[in-house]
Amino acid sequence: MSIRVMVVDDIEVERRLLRGLISAHRELELVGEASSVDEARVEIERLKPDVVFLDVQIGESDGFRLLRGLGWRPAVVFVSAWPHYAIDAFAVEAVDYLLKPVTGARFAATVQRLLRVLAGEGGLAVPLGAGDQICLASTMSSQVVPVAMIRALVADGDFTRALLAGTPEVLVCRRLGSFEEELPTPPFVRLDRSLIVNQSCIDRLDRQGRNAARLWMRSLRQPIEIGRTAIERLRGLMP
């Protein structure tokens, strides 16, 4: 599968770095570049790329303004030095959000995600890395947190409670199963149908009987109550 891509960034050295990353993947064909929103709008409509690697801040304008009013809507991967724009990027259904400087390994994961998305298979089959960020959307707001902050995910009906290090838990508007393919394994492991934990952050297990235990995670004040299935699964994970 060949993916026609375009790069939009107002800084030439940044475009050059992206050209180098793109050239390392035969699945990608660079068809154009632009250094301003106005130029990009014209070139996107003319070239009709499959994907645009798009900076957030472009001169005195921004990539979000570029996307508004486009007749041709390519898939979008934002590439930015600013992590706080990630929530806005997810809101416009960006395939990925890359933080500068982009490593070759991180870019390769994005390419695999693009291949799946453009093939109609969805983007969650390529796991995030431990150093990546994830958007947690609740009914009230959204926040982007490092994957490494997640200590555990607990099913709560059609929602998931995200237990995070050093911050209140978030009731996320997603089923637990949707996280299973997205989070890296290891360190994330599913202990039973209602619980995923960050194995690297397990502190200790206090048995309360044959079929019950309390699982303590680093940086969480309260333990997680678990049952027999999770206990059995932990036997093969803990030293």
pLDDT per residue of the chain (239 residues) written in tens, 0 to 9: 689 999 999 999 999 999 999 999 999 999 999 999 999 999 999 999 999 999 999 988 889 999 987 889 999 999 998 887 887 887 788 888 888 999 888 888 888 888 888 877 544 445 676 677 787 877 766 777 888 899 999 999 889 999 999 888 889 888 898 888 788 888 899 999 999 999 999 888 888 877 889 999 999 989 999 998 888 888 877 66
Q: Determine the pLDDT at residue 123.
A: 44
Q: What CATH number is attached to the domain comprising 210? A: 2.40.50.40
Task: Say if 109 falls within a structural domain.
Answer: yes
Same domain, 146 and 184: yes
Q: Determine the Cα–Cα distance for residues 39 and 10; give it in Å rounded to an integer.
A: 10
Same domain, 34 and 78: yes
Q: What CATH number is attached to the domain comprising 101? A: 3.40.50.2300
Same domain, 99 and 180: no
Same domain, 110 and 154: no
Same domain, 111 and 159: no
Task: Say if 128 falls within a structural domain.
Answer: no
Task: Say if 216 falls within a structural domain.
Answer: yes
What the block records as the tokens of 40 is 């990009």
Task: Say if 30 falls within a structural domain.
Answer: yes
Look up the domain containing 158 and give its range.
Answer: 133-235
Q: Determine the Cα–Cα distance for residues 42 and 70; give it in Å rounded to an integer.
A: 9
Q: Determine the pLDDT at residue 20.
A: 96
Same domain, 55 and 137: no
Q: Determine the Cα–Cα distance for residues 61 and 151; give it in Å rounded to an integer.
A: 38
Reduced 3-state DSSP string for the chain: CCEEEEEECCCHHHHHHHHHHHHCCCCEEEEEEECCHHHHHHHHHHHCCCEEEECCEECCEEHHHHHCCCCCCCEEEEEECCHHHHHHHHHCCCCEEEECCCCHHHHHHHHHHHHHHHCCCCCCCCCCCCCCEEEEECCCCEEEEEHHHEEEEEEECCEEEEEECCEEEEEECCCCHHHHCCCCCCCEEEEECCEEEEHHHEEEEEEEECCEEEEEECCCCCCEEEEHHHHHHHHCCCC
Contact in structure between 63 and 56 (CB atoms under 8 Å): yes
Say if pTM beats, i.e. exceeds, 0.85.
no
Task: Say if 127 falls within a structural domain.
Answer: no
Q: Determine the pLDDT at residue 127.
A: 62
Task: Say if 53 falls within a structural domain.
Answer: yes
Q: Determine the pLDDT at residue 1.
A: 64
* Those residues with Cβ within 8 angstroms of residue 6's Cβ, 6 or more apart along the chain or in another chain: 30, 31, 32, 33, 34, 40, 43, 44, 47, 49, 51, 52, 53, 74
Same domain, 141 and 91: no
Task: Say if 40 falls within a structural domain.
Answer: yes
Looking at the structure of the chain, the number of domains it has is 2
Q: How far is CA 177 from CA 67, 112, 202, in A?
A: 31, 21, 21
Q: Determine the pLDDT at residue 132.
A: 76
Task: Say if 123 falls within a structural domain.
Answer: no
Same domain, 8 and 111: yes
Same domain, 41 and 81: yes
Same domain, 24 and 111: yes
